[in-house]
Amino acid sequence: MKAALESKLNDQTAVAGVIGLGYVGLPLVQHLCGAGYRVIGFDVDQSKVDRLNAGESYIHHIDSAWIARIVAEGRFVATSDFERLAEADCISICVPTPLNRHHEPDLQYVEQTTAHIAAVLRPGQLVVLESTTYPGTTTELLLPMLSASGLRVGQDFFLAFSPEREDPGNARFTISKIPKVIGGVTPACTALAAAYYEKIFECVVPLSGPAAAELCKLLENIFRSVNIALVNELKMLCDKMGIDIWEVIHAASTKPFGFMPFYPGPGLGGHCIPIDPFYLSWKAREHDFVTRFIELSGEINTSMPLFVVNKLAEALNHAAKPLNGARILILGAAYKKDVDDMRESPTIKLIELLEERHALVDYNDPYIPEIVPGRHHSITKRSVALTPQTLASYDVVLISTAHTCYDVEMLLDHANLVVDTRNLTGAIPKSDPRLSIVVKA
């Protein structure tokens, strides 16, 4: 079976299957098609399937014209029919791995997807889990389910873990330029996964097995979470000491070695950093081990929206206005600048906290025209137009996401009060009198 799949990969007749057509899966489809693979995309959301087959993208940085072209050429088709997984030679699993309400791993989507694959698994198929998870998931969850058919891993079918490292909106590091870490259940699994992905990744990094690859992804995001928590904590200290944390970070960044800048904010967002560390802390408890850095960084980072709201209330108080009934405009609903992704965005928590205190909250985001109820919130709002008149009509403007399209000059000219959590106003000379309306939070 290994030789047969190798032959298909070498002559590029292998059919690729991608399960989960979101911010990870759809860019992967784009690169697989670019490498010459014919791709079948799978998703449970029929509206996504229909839009893709009609040549329409729902992700900002994926061009609709490109989708329309590859669909017309017969190189890509989207489907919600999971029986068609039997047609794919190589299957990449790119489904969400969220936390439940107790901050424990929720692997229901991985488990459901694996059940779909197991139902049609045939000899010669390669299955690769890309969804971030705790060490042991590939061998403890996927392997038993796929082996139940009687097929043998490493001989009849092949299984590996290869974490996604997608960074939406990063034009410098597209998928192909980010090294691809791979850990197969057997050496043959690793070799085939490497042969599959090396067509689209400039560098492939094979590891000893799935557990090392699973922990690799967690380490990357735990590193970021801990360091962001550090600067968030220092931001709160600097606030009390009357020191500009942004000035301090910039100064420290001039050191050419031994320092890497991280930046504070109103809270963590995205599908990785707010979630992934808790996958390891949960797994660590099986080994009677407490991951203290992870737990502490989580506490600090999740406390940031409340810190921001308290700073905003204090700023309004100095302007002789109560938070109760205040008109507040939040700039940015996306979790990071210049993307249309609002997964785990701190803006959601900011809105909830402000409305609990009876503030009247609107938002503007050119990338997010509407906020709809989600997994953990029931907010429904539409983005308001950003004009001089709009800015002047609010008691305070809260900068939650520093999109590069935001006009700082217009903001300072027309807003009554600005609470800046992202240092969007940092480029304005400190001598500018308009900065008197700006409060850093």
Q: Which of 344, 382, 388 is nearest to 363 (CA)?
A: 382
Q: What pairs with residue 363 in β-bridges?
A: 330
As a whole number of angstroms, the longest Cα–Cα distance in the chain is 76
Q: What is the amino acid identity at position 176?
A: S
Answer for the pair 401, 270: CB distance below 8 angstroms, yes or no.
no
Catalytic residue among 33, 216, 272, 405: 272
CA–CA separation, 102 and 29 (whole Å): 33
The answer to whether residues 372 and 364 touch, using CB atoms and an 8 Å cutoff, is: no
State yes or no: is 272 an active-site residue.
Answer: yes
- Cβ partners under 8 Å of residue 159, min gap 6: 126, 127, 128, 138, 142, 143, 146, 153, 184, 185, 189, 210
Q: Give the strand pairing for 204-206 and 327-331.
A: unpaired
Output the 3-class SS for the chain: CHHHHHHHHHCCCCEEEEECCCCCHHHHHHHHHHCCCEEEEECCCHHHHHHHHCCCCCCCCCCHHHHHHHHHCCCEEEECCHHHHHHCCEEEECCCCCECCCCCECCHHHHHHHHHHHHHCCCCCEEEECCCCCCCHHHHHHHHHHHCCCCCECCCEEEEECCCCCCCCCCCCCHHHCCEEEEECCHHHHHHHHHHHCCCCCCEEECCCHHHHHHHHHHHHHHHHHHHHHHHHHHHHHHHHCCCHHHHHHHHCCCCCCCCCCCCCCCCCCCCCCCHHHHHHHHHHCCCCCCHHHHHHHHHHHHHHHHHHHHHHHHHHHCCCCCCCCEEEEECCCCCCCCCCCCCCHHHHHHHHHHHCCCEEEEECCCCCEECCCCCCCCCEECCCCCHHHHHCCCEEEECCCCCCCCHHHHHHHCCCEEECCCHHHHCCCCCHHHHHEEEC
Catalytic center residues: 272
